[in-house]
Structure 1
Amino acid sequence: MDNNISKIINQELKKLMKKKFFFKQPSDKKILAYSGGFLLLILLGSLLNLGILTAFLSVFPLAYVFGAKGWRYCLPLVIIAGGILVLFASPTIIFWFGIHMIVAYMVYKTIILRRSKMLLTAATSVVIFTGLALYIFLSIKMGIITIDRTQILDFINSYVNSMVEMNQGVDKNMVLESFSSLQKSFPVTLFIMVFVYSLVLVHYTLSMLGREFVIIPVFPMFSRVMLSQKSGYAYIVVTLITFLIEMEAGGNTYSFWNILFQNITGVLSLAFILNGLFTAFFFIEEKTKSNIVKPVVFVLMLIFSPIFELLGFIDCVFKIREGYIIIKKGR
């Protein structure tokens, strides 16, 4: 009987809270204040050329206003912001604010649809990375950004020569090879930087919204974050394709498909390294309550990343954490 009552109460609570943004509805004065704050950030970013900082801070007030008033109120607000940007801002700042307005709407929809914080972080990373890649591509095509291959090669050669002169023990070919590897893995490096930025942006925005009685999604414990088995199978397929492409390319290591699949493999490798770290965190939490062990394991992950990648892959395919929980409950 008690279980039936609790189920009924939970169902009623879910109905009441469905698609709600606030625990406590905000006042019109606060909505106007955050609307003005959003426009002020747009103006300051345009006039002072502080695009990234002000765009970062603008996500919170715009998401707040979205939650309070929806599109009917926010559409004129975004149009006014767009007019300020067109009049006073550079194309780069317009791009940054445009991307962050999209992120603000994503935050609003994530809360309304009760999606996870992790999904929001991943979606934000993809949107910013894709937007950045598209912006760079269009800038190159339109001549806003010019890339002179000869100047770049001259800069690299002069830098390498100066390093060799300063340290006679340095192998020039190895330094040139490191530049070559960096060039090919640049998209992965950029995506990692974007992911870290997105994580900080989402955490800050949701923390600020939480202070304003917003129903924010909770970030799960790292030890409970798991990759699906499909990710493991996808990793195997992509690795095999990359191997075949490298064999087919031969000496042409700069072929489009070779670089593309190398970078896809790099992103997947990072995902499995983190999955291995989270697996280690899971068993640490099962065996000890000490807070010192996890930082040590994190440092070990940076040094021995292939071992953690293998651990993450095994956990993904064979579900060792889930198996451990099932065995433990069986006891």
Structure 2
Amino acid sequence: MKERKIDFKKELDFILSTEIFFKSPSNSKVLLFSLLYVALTIIGAYLEIYIITSIITLPLLVYVLAARGNSYFIPLAILTIFNTYLVSSLDATVWNIIHVLLALIIYHFIKYRRSKLFILMTISAVIFFGITLYMHILILTSTVNYSPEAIQVYIDSYIAKMSSIEPTTDVDLFREVFEQIKRYLPTLVFMIIVAYSVLLINYTFFILSREKAIVPIFQKFKLVAIGKDLAYLYILITLIVLVIAMSGVDLYDPYYLFFDNLYSIFRWIFVFNGVCTIFFFIEEKTESSSGFLKVLTLVSAYLFSSLFDVIGLVDSLMKLRERYLYMKGEDS
């Protein structure tokens, strides 16, 4: 069997360029993906399953953009957004607009060879702030009645209904759970969005890779590290939360809620950094398969999140992994 000769210089030049496709897309494939994008987006909006169809259609839109550029992409996106507005709700239209922006971001980040983790965090942030801005506009225009009083009325009525159905219901426990949800709803939403973004990115890159496109991959978790700047910002946010809390402000004060939720998001970021740090030392210290230890680490991170938060923060500030490798190099 004849071996295929690889031109390494040509391969390297391609990787260092801004090209996306190993093989030029055909006109028929671009047309097919365009029609599928329009049809699936409109059907999803009409049937109110646009969250699901957005995952399916995003790689199609990125493919079309990469193959034909903005002159083809912009009219296609505008046409689809307009038709979505005609057949469905404003929610579906806004969701479609957000995913058009995501297609642009993913395309340019692939083009300029950004890492998969960087793309994931950017996509999560864009979705989160897009939804936040949309909800803020709805509240300002009184389209949505979002106030502590309205939420409390809903909670009280729900608990009363559950108590009437099941008299043994622990009312105090229910009330405590709802209080936590009220306070940390933005954090909960952000975590759901990150999970959605992981699914969205992985499916998009899977489809693009099958179409001969160059796509980034996740780097090993042991190599993921949060920079010092974010660590200092985390410390600052923590101090702000402590100062506001000690001032005796109401727990539902908008400023306190904002910083408290921001603190919660940063906390889980540094818990993740702590997990990556432990993964690094597991791989450095064990020669055999370390799968069990990594699973145990993930479980421990959930059960003892505060400890992993501290580990992640210390690693970020003191560069534990870099120091270890430096000392290891000196000893060898």
Select the residue among 276, 279, 282 that pairs with 2:277.
279
CA contact (8 A) 2:159 2:171 kept: no
Instruction: Say which SS state the counterpart of residue 143 (structure 2) adopts.
Output: coil
Matched residue count: 320
* Percent of aligned pairs with the same amino acid: 32
Alignment of 1:284-299 (within 5 A): 284-288=282-286, 289-299=289-299
- CA separation in 1, counterparts of 2:137 and 2:46? 24
- CA separation in 2, counterparts of 1:27 and 1:199? 29
Q: Which TM-score applies when normalising by structure 1?
A: 0.89
Instruction: Give the letter for the 1:292 counterpart.
Output: F
Alpha-carbon shift at residue 271 of structure 1 (Å):
0.6
- CA separation in 2, counterparts of 1:30 and 1:171? 58
1:75 is the counterpart of 2:50: no
User: Which residue of 2 is the match for residue 198 of structure 1?
Assistant: 197
User: Which residue of 2 is the match for residue 4 of structure 1?
Assistant: none
User: Which residue of 1 is the match for residue 252 of structure 2?
Assistant: 254
Alignment of 1:51-70 (within 5 A): 51-70=50-69
Change (3 A) 1:251 1:139: closer
Q: Structure 1 runs of 4+ off > 6 angstroms?
A: none
- CA separation in 1, counterparts of 2:82 and 2:142? 25
CA contact (8 A) 1:56 1:100 kept: no
Instruction: Say which SS state the counterpart of residue 35 (structure 1) adopts.
Output: helix
- Quick check: 114-123 or 154-163, which moved more? 154-163
- CA separation in 1, counterparts of 2:110 and 2:15? 15
Alpha-carbon shift at residue 150 of structure 1 (Å):
5.0
- CA separation in 2, counterparts of 1:83 and 1:255? 39
User: Which residue of 1 is the match for residue 3 of structure 2?
Assistant: none
1:27 is the counterpart of 2:16: no
Alpha-carbon shift at residue 117 of structure 1 (Å):
0.9
- CA separation in 1, counterparts of 2:184 and 2:264? 8
User: Which residue of 2 is the match for residue 308 of structure 1?
Assistant: 308
Alignment of 1:215-230 (within 5 A): 215-230=214-229
Instruction: Give the letter for the 2:291 counterpart.
Output: N
CA contact (8 A) 1:276 1:311 kept: yes
Change (3 A) 1:146 1:281: same
CA contact (8 A) 1:42 1:84 kept: no
- Please, which runs of 5 or more residues in structure 2 have no aligned partner? 1-7
- CA separation in 2, counterparts of 1:242 and 1:43? 44
- Quick check: 41-50 or 263-272, which moved more? 41-50
Alpha-carbon shift at residue 142 of structure 1 (Å):
3.1
CA offsets, 1:127-172, max 9 Å, x none?
A: 111111111122233343334755532342355465697448x583
- CA separation in 1, counterparts of 2:232 and 2:140? 37
Instruction: Give the letter for the 1:313 counterpart.
Output: L
- Please, which runs of 5 or more residues in structure 1 have no aligned partner? 1-8
Alpha-carbon shift at residue 46 of structure 1 (Å):
2.8
CA contact (8 A) 1:58 1:100 kept: no
Instruction: Give the letter for the 1:47 counterpart.
Output: Y
CA offsets, 1:30-64, max 9 Å, x none?
A: 11111111111122113322211112211100000
Alpha-carbon shift at residue 218 of structure 1 (Å):
1.7
Instruction: Give the letter for the 1:210 counterpart.
Output: S
